Amino acid sequence: MLQSIDAKEEARVLRKQGNSLAQNNQPAAALDCFERSLRLSPGDALTLNDRGNALQDLQRLEEALSSYDHALSIQPEFPAALTNRSNVFRTMRRLDEALRDLDAARTVLPTDDAEGIVRVLGLRARALRGLARIDEAFAAFAQALEIAPSGAARDAVLQARARLELDLFRGREALADLDPLLASARSVDLRKNTRVWQHHRRRSYAQRRCHRGACRKSHD
């Protein structure tokens, strides 16, 4: 019994070390920790999910899918594993399967997890875009923005929607999304925050698209 408790504690410590390594961009070392943790606690869905993330970072996508599958066989209503597996499917261009996982994640997320819901809706919009279901993608972006908390979650949705608008030559709408991002970045730190320049470049590109659209209309 004591040995079992010690093994579980060691597995927990190894998982914690693995997550620390993953956060420091050391996926190979993180994977080693997760593998060792799973040898001590093979049915731990959280560690299987973490293992899948490390494998995904290493571009070992089929193995990542297998790890997420295993996690979900143990804990079917695991929103993080569903969302992470959807990212692998999206990378592999298996967009229908990505969408299926995102819809499942949306149904099991707690209603008070606004940030998690916004992230899923943003990813769902991108999968729909890849499937050329453009109206549904914009609807998902709009739904995300209705509930998005201020900050990084909302900014990510606005950036993704602006990219889609630029691809569709809808420059004025893209400008409307990029302007608050630029203002937000400036309010943090104009000189040090590199997001300012990223948003500024995108805004300039949107302006050029917008002007070109206006010029085309004037010559019709």
- pTM, entire model: 0.80
Q: Where are the domains of the chain?
A: 12-75, 79-153, 169-220
Q: Is the pLDDT of residue 117 over 70?
A: yes
**Distance (Å, rounded) from C-alpha 177 to C-alpha 141?**
12
Spell out the residues 6+ positions from residue 56 whose beta carbon is closer than 8 angstroms to its own. 64, 84, 87, 88, 91
Spell out the residues 6+ positions from residue 141 whose beta carbon is closer than 8 angstroms to its own. 121, 122, 125, 157, 160, 161, 164
Contact 181, 158 (CB under 8 A): yes
Tens digits of residue pLDDT in 166-202: 889 898 898 898 888 877 765 555 444 455 456 666 6
**Distance (Å, rounded) from C-alpha 163 to C-alpha 156?**
11
Tens digits of residue pLDDT in 121-176: 999 999 999 999 999 999 999 999 999 867 788 888 998 999 999 889 898 898 89
The pLDDT, as a whole number, for residue 216 is: 47
What is the mean pLDDT of the segment spanning 70-87?
97
What is the mean pLDDT of the segment spanning 56-75?
98
Q: Which CATH architecture has domain 12-75?
A: Alpha Horseshoe (1.25)
Highest CATH level, class, for 79-153: mainly alpha
**Distance (Å, rounded) from C-alpha 96 to C-alpha 117?**
19
Work out the mean pLDDT of the chain and round it to a whole number. 86
Q: Is the pLDDT of residue 2 over 60?
A: no
